[in-house]
């Protein structure tokens, strides 16, 4: 079986070596680059299975790398884990708004790095069966097998995480999900996501759904639900 390839982007050589050693020991193929420009070049030349991306990079920073990856049709679903010393919630939210799958702050324990890496790859591999039929709620159509969302027959461009959250809510219209349930059911028990980050995802989903954005209702003090139409 081919080994999964991970692209590691960081300008600190000691961090690169620490990450390379532990990932390689765990069986992954590892490529190291030190700038955002080289990261984008590498992704375009050969798509990795996951990118570990530092925010504070010379030249093109990590947020811009993430933005460009998500804007490209070929790479928009590429798993991205932010790897950075910036641990404030605002930075976590910014990364998640751009479509990052997870966030690891420096300094970190190698076992945490490996656990998060495995978790993101595992979540991304749990795709819906290709035979699963599309279902419709009002003007909104969701096709799990194609990983596709359409609003009045126009495509809505959701990130993988947003698609998972929308699918969770849409499969049970009227059912209220707490933020913890959304994290656990849509993202997995091993996801590390704050309540604020869940709210950010919901805001982003509503915006992308346009006229169907109000299908997702806020239940104050509890969580969110899909309108029962």
pLDDT in tens, 45-73: 999 999 999 988 988 999 999 999 988 88
Any idea what DSSP says for residue 163? H
Confidence of residue 144 (pLDDT cuts 50, 70, 90): confident
**91/205 Cα distance (integer angstroms):** 19
CATH 3.40.50.2300 spans which residues of the chain?
5-125
Compute the average pLDDT of residues 137-150.
90
Helix H or strand E segment including 81: strand 80-84
**81/99 Cα distance (integer angstroms):** 10
Q: What is the pLDDT of residue 195?
A: 64
Fold exhibited by the domain 135-226: Arc Repressor Mutant, subunit A (1.10.10)
* Class at the top of the CATH hierarchy for domain 5-125: alpha beta
Q: Does pTM top 0.85 for this prediction? A: no
Q: How far is CA 205 from CA 32, 162, 167, 196, in A?
A: 33, 6, 11, 14
CATH 1.10.10.10 spans which residues of the chain?
135-226
Whole-number average pLDDT of the chain: 86
Q: What is the pLDDT of residue 68?
A: 94
């Amino acid at each position: 079986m081919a080994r999964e390839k991970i692209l590691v982007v960081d300008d600190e050589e000691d961090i690169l070596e620490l990450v390379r050693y532990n990932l390689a020991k765990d069986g992954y193929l590892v490529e190291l680059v030190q700038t955002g420009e080289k990261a984008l070049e590498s992704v375009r030349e050969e798509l990795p299975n996951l990118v570990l991306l530092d925010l504070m990079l010379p030249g093109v920073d990590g947020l811009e790398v993430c933005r460009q990856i998500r804007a490209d049709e070929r790479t928009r679903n590429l798993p991205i884990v932010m790897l950075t010393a910036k641990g404030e919630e605002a930075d976590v939210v910014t990364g998640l708004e751009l479509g990052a799958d997870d966030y690891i702050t420096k300094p970190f324990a190698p076992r945490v790095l490996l656990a998060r890496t495995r978790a993101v790859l595992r979540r991304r591999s749990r795709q819906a069966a290709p035979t699963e039929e599309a279902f419709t709620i009002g003007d909104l159509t969701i096709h799990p097998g194609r990983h596709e969302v359409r609003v009045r027959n126009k495509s809505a461009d959701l990130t993988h995480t947003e698609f998972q959250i929308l699918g969770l809510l849409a499969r049970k219209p009227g059912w209220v999900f707490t933020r913890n349930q959304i994290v656990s059911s849509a993202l997995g028990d091993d996801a590390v996501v704050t309540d604020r980050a869940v709210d950010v995802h919901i805001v982003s989903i509503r915006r992308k759904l346009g006229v169907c954005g109000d299908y997702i209702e806020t239940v104050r003090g509890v969580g969110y639900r899909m309108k029962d139409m």
